[in-house]
Structure 1
């Protein structure tokens, strides 16, 4: 019999420890930047800081799930067969948002170069840097654990709003590196929170449809990747993303009013097929 005591507030403990790990790593990035070290060193540190939620979850795992294997838990999150239609729909939605933002920026901006990337080599590097410094490091803790754990007590939508808020607040130190001040900074924070909470709702809907962590990883990756490709005003970019992802989130809620984002209890994924009760 396992005598190890189980954490009474696992999600709160996870959020707290995630921030305690992230803050010193983020401060270290600032120190490295001031010392004028190579850009790749800063990129590596960004990647490490993005994994703070995974580090926190790994540290707390035995107290959250006594007697269980962390490695097996991770494997189980990728165990379900991927449903092509779910992934394709999510990517098409995000690609459509990207194209709409691209159109808005090109129409309303006076800049000559619309993309931030000028070569295929840079594009590949940017893609994998984003993958390592965000989706791969964040999704196990925030989605694989916190979202699923909260869904045991609340609807997927309510759980998404709660986790989305705290996930957004975890980014707080980054807000003050944008160079924005005053009302522009307030607008940025507002739009950022709307964008990230709306994206969280989108992630939840598609994750609950497939129950494989690759799904939110893909959505997270393309959110970061697409916004980083466009050479536009930062405030405008986050505003466009906030509005468009909010529209998608509301539509997903409207078409799934009874189950409120395809709750785990209402969906059975069997051999790649979805059985909705």
Structure 2
């Protein structure tokens, strides 16, 4: 009997192809910078790299869902009615994380730091840039597909942890290109991974409460933007932001209203 390859599993194929596309585009970005290519070309490649998981999903879509059209799949991700109680809760949690981060840093650092406000126009551009480079390019595939597929086999919590680790290490090239080295690089990478896994648990919890892709998109956008709106040393900011996300994730696991993190999807 012929043994089946692990790559015949669509989910494994998706993760593998996502990594390959991202790593290849990341190398192209490096070459563009090294050759002094026009900025628009480098930015375009950066956006494409951020969308690597979506590209992988589109390439494999007919293999994953042979009887479904891509536009119908996308439409399905937004058909569930948005619950504004859920949306308001996630916004409130993330605003509190930003405020607490600023207060804690003020108490422990004499130089301090503050809310970064370069003007409405630049803030709007930064917000749009974060949307394009983050949630719009990642949530359809990582949450809309991968998370939902994992939850057919595992509990939401286990699925969230798997996605958190896979999605976290997908960012490895960004860690290496962060400009940090030695102890600072280790600190940056560990904090990043803690934040990503915690984020994955939080997203899974609220996404299961209201399975509309707007929920993970909003959480993802606010997660990324929280590191933009606070001025100061990035590593110092990450200590508070990532650990606060970790605290929220632990509280959700411990309190776990209605057992949302332990009930397997059918």
1-side partners of 2:120 and 2:42: how far apart? 22
Pair 1:111–1:29, CA change in 2 (3 A): farther
Question: Is 2:101 the partner of 1:101?
Answer: yes
* Structure 1 position 150, deviation (Å): 0.3
Contact preservation (8 Å) 2:191, 2:239: yes
Q: Which runs of 5+ in 2 are unaligned?
A: 1-6
Q: Which runs of 5+ in 1 are unaligned?
A: 1-6, 267-277
The superposition leaves residues 125-181 of structure 1 with CA deviations (integer Å, 9 ceiling, x where unpaired) of: 000000000100000110000000000000000000001100000000000111111
| Matched residue, 1:169 | 169
* Structure 1 position 62, deviation (Å): 0.8
Task: Provide the TM-score with structure 1 as the length reference.
Answer: 0.88
| Matched residue, 1:92 | 92
Contact preservation (8 Å) 1:208, 1:263: no
* Structure 1 position 43, deviation (Å): 3.0
| Matched residue, 1:134 | 134
Pair 1:113–1:71, CA change in 2 (3 A): same
* Structure 1 position 68, deviation (Å): 1.4
Contact preservation (8 Å) 2:105, 2:113: no
**RMSD over equivalenced CA pairs, Å:** 2.0
2-side partners of 1:245 and 1:129: how far apart? 23
Question: Is 2:139 the partner of 1:124?
Answer: no
2-side partners of 1:74 and 1:200: how far apart? 21
1-side partners of 2:99 and 2:219: how far apart? 16
| Matched residue, 1:250 | 250
Task: Provide the TM-score with structure 2 as the length reference.
Answer: 0.91
Report the more deviating stretch, 198-207 or 108-117: 108-117
Q: How does 1:37-116 map to 2 (within 5 A)?
A: 37=37, 39-109=39-109, 111=111, 114-116=114-116
Question: Is 2:204 the partner of 1:204?
Answer: yes
Contact preservation (8 Å) 1:98, 1:226: yes
* Structure 1 position 31, deviation (Å): 2.4
Q: What secondary structure does 1:228 align onto?
A: coil
Pair 1:106–1:118, CA change in 2 (3 A): farther
* Structure 1 position 119, deviation (Å): 1.4
| Matched residue, 1:14 | 14
Task: Report the count of equivalent residues.
Answer: 260
The superposition leaves residues 70-100 of structure 1 with CA deviations (integer Å, 9 ceiling, x where unpaired) of: 1101110011110000000000000000111
Contact preservation (8 Å) 1:147, 1:160: yes
